[in-house]
Amino acid sequence: MKRRLIYALTLFFALFILSAAAPAAEESAAAPRAVAPERTYEFAPVVDGTKVEHDFVIENYGDAPLHIQRVKTG
């Protein structure tokens, strides 16, 4: 009797955890995925105060719009 109760509770909790994880998997399927082929760039030595620029390409490989909200330099 005790063994059946433990088995039933284990089965119940396993099904509960699996059913809770299913919606999360569906949500992550429709998400943006930012991919930057070039993650760093080394500038040649420059004179102090000289303006330097470099463009990084960011591609969205996901299924939802990608919104870049903040960029920080290193």
Quickly count: other Cβ atoms within 10 Å of residue 66's Cβ. Answer: 14
The pLDDT confidence band at residue 5, using thresholds 50, 70 and 90, is: low
pLDDT at 72 over 60: yes
* Ordered DSSP codes for 49-73: T---------EE-SSS---------
pTM over 0.75: no
